[in-house]
Amino acid sequence: MNLFKPVLVLEVEISQRISDVPLTYDHTGTPYQRARSLVRLHDKPLGLVDLNIDGTGLTASEHAAAIWRKLGNKINAHLRANGLPEVSTLDESGIPFEQVPACVQARNQFLANAPFASVIVCTRDRAASLGRCVRSLLKLDYPAFEIIVVDNAPKTNATEELVAQEFGQNKEGHQMRVRYIREPRPGKSRAANTGALHARGAILAFTDDDVEVDRHWLTELALGFTVTDHVACVSGLILPAELETQPQFWQEEFGGYNRDGNLDQRIFNLENLRWRRQQEPLYPYTSGNFGAGANLCFSREAFMKLDGFDPAIGAGTLTIAAEDTDILFRSVISGYTVVRQPSAFLYHYQYRDYESLRKQLFSYGHGFTAHLMNCILRRPSSILDFVSMVPYTLFYLFNSKSPKHAKKKEDFPKELATAEMKGMTVGWWAYLRSRWRTGNERRLAQAPSNKWQMTELQVASGK
CA distance linking residue 231 with residue 225, whole number of Å:
6
Q: Which residues partner with 346 through β-bridges? A: 213, 238
Mean pLDDT for 174-182 is 80
Q: Return the pLDDT at 397.
A: 78
Region 311-335: mean pLDDT is 94
* Full-model pTM: 0.91
Q: Per-residue pLDDT averaged across 292-317, rounded?
A: 95
Q: Domains (ranges, CATH) in the chain? A: 7-103 (no CATH), 114-438 (3.90.550.10)
How far apart CA 415 and CA 302 sit, in angstroms, is: 40
User: Phi, psi at residue 446, to the nearest 5°?
Assistant: -105, 100
The confidence score (pLDDT) of residue 4 equals 82
DSSP result, 234-262: EEEEEEES-B-SHHHHHHHHHT-SSTT--
Residue 291 has pLDDT above 60, yes or no: yes
Most confidently modeled range among 16-25, 97-106, 130-139 = 130-139
The pLDDT value recorded for residue 442 is 64
Going by DSSP bridges, is the β-strand pair 178-183/145-152 parallel, antiparallel, or unpaired? parallel
Q: Looking at residue 406, what DSSP letter applies? A: T
What pLDDT band is residue 411 in, cutting at 50, 70 and 90?
confident
Q: Determine the pLDDT at residue 390.
A: 81
Span 422-443, pLDDT tens digits: 999 999 999 999 999 887 676 6
Q: Is 213 helix (H, G, I), strand (E, B) or coil?
A: strand
Judged against a pLDDT cut of 80, whether residue 350 lies above it is answered with: yes
- Read off the pLDDT of each residue in 94-109 and give the average, rounded to a whole number: 92
Across 138-142, average pLDDT = 96
> Average pLDDT of the chain?
88
Confidence band for 173, pLDDT divided at 50, 70 and 90:
very low
Least confident of 106-115, 279-288, 442-451: 442-451
Contact between 211 and 294 under an 8 Å Cβ cutoff? The reply is yes
Measured CA to CA, the distance from residue 198 to residue 67 in angstroms comes to 45
What percentage of the chain exceeds 70 in pLDDT? 92
**Averaged pLDDT for residues 121-142:** 96
- For 275, residues 6+ apart whose C-beta sits below 8 A from its C-beta are none
User: What's the alpha-carbon Rg for the chain, to the nearest Å?
Assistant: 22
Assess whether pLDDT exceeds 50 at residue 448. Answer: no
Q: Check pLDDT > 60 for residue 450.
A: no
- Do the Cβ atoms of 375 and 313 come closer than 8 Å? no
Other beta carbons less than 10 A from residue 51's beta carbon: 22
